[in-house]
Amino acid sequence: MVDKRGFTVDIDRVISIVQSCKDIVINNKNSDLSVVEKGNSDFVTRLDFEVQTYLRKKLMDIIPSCDFVSEEQSFNNYKSNERWILDPIDGTTNLVHDYQQLAISLAFVRENSIEFGIIYNPFNGETFWGIKGQGAYLNGGRIYSSNETTLKSSLIAIGTSPYNKSESYRLFETIHKVFYSSQDIRRSGSAAIDIAYVAAGRTEGFFEPQLKPWDYAAGIIILKEAGGIISNWLKSDLSLEHTDDVIATNKFIYDELIEIIQKKSLMRSWQYQQERIYSI
């Protein structure tokens, strides 16, 4: 249980609620998912909405006054003092193909500071979570980012930003350079899982442009508490209000990886970055 300036969040209860979504996902993954394409390679299914509705109700029982920011809501209040940030299924395309790498990703934010985050894969039961100032954990055991000190000896996860294929030639040029400079690369299809894997020391880094706050909010606190580094490609804190470009690493290879990204990437100018700050 964590006491934070005047209210109490029962972390064990939140973890249990998120894990109880397993039945929603596993029992229905082979049923009619009612898949809708929101945009280019951007899908939503019936299960996205079911998990979102279920968690919203359960979380409101914990903090009734807390706002709720989620991918599949028509309106989100990003300015509220206390809010949950949820991606009900991060990896919907994987779900559609029964490629069992996806996550329920949930963060709690108070006064624009992430206090708690959980990333849960219902298929393998792995639950990553972190509490501000109290460490990061995987299924109850403490986790830390890896001690690899060079990019050459590092395994790097990548995201392909499939919703923005018109920019793919720039991104894949960057990916090629990282592949050439690292030990190898991996692609899971879930940014939340990729960040959690950096926190657990399974990979040394991850990067992907144009992610949304619900893709990475939980990962921020988990990775930081595991001793890693996470930022945008300008080396600034990630936004909890708009789309941002994400880099996540252990504490040793950050400078080496971001140097490649900044030299060979989608970043064209500061003006370009400003144009990308838009309402989601």
Long-range CB contact pairs, 75-84, < 8 A, 24+: 76/280, 78/213, 78/240, 78/241, 79/241, 81/110, 81/111, 82/108, 82/109, 82/110, 83/108, 83/109, 84/55, 84/59, 84/108, 84/109
Residues 81 and 113 grouped into a single domain: yes
Residues 174 and 127 in one domain: no
Same domain, yes or no: 6 and 138: yes
**In this structure, what token pair is assigned to residue 190?**
């879930």
CATH number of the domain enclosing 228? 3.40.190.80
- Three-state secondary-structure class, residue 10: coil
- What pLDDT is attached to residue 272? 44
pLDDT in tens, 85-130: 999 999 999 998 999 999 999 999 999 999 999 999 999 999 999 9
Host H or E run for residue 270: helix 270-275
Other beta carbons within 10 angstroms of residue 48's beta carbon come to 23
- 156 and 71 share one domain: no
68 pLDDT band, cuts 50/70/90, is very high
Q: Is the pLDDT score of 209 beyond 60?
A: yes
- 155 and 271 fall within a common domain: yes
Confidence check: pLDDT of 77 > 60:
yes
CB 51 within 8 A of CB 25: yes
Q: Whole-model pTM?
A: 0.90
Last residue within a domain, chosen from 142, 159, 181: 142
Task: Tell whether 280 is covered by a domain.
Answer: no
Residues 17 and 134 in one domain: yes
pLDDT of residue 43: 57
* One domain for residues 15 and 130: yes
pLDDT in tens, 17-29: 999 999 999 987 7
* pLDDT for position 3: 42
Which structural domain range is residue 199 located in?
A: 151-275
**Please, which pLDDT band fits residue 145 given cuts at 50, 70 and 90?**
very high
Question: Domain check: are 55 and 184 in the same one?
Answer: no
pLDDT at position 73: 77
Q: What pLDDT is stored for residue 1 in this prediction?
A: 40
CATH of the domain at 135: 3.30.540.10
62 plus 127 within the same structural domain: yes
Number of domains in the chain: 2
Strand 36-39 and strand 82-90: the pairing is: unpaired
More confidently predicted of 213 and 5: 213
How confident is the model over 39-58, as pLDDT tens digits? 564 557 888 899 999 999 99
Residue 267 has pLDDT above 60, yes or no: no
Average pLDDT, the chain: 88
**Looking at the predicted structure, is the pLDDT value of residue 177 above 80?**
yes
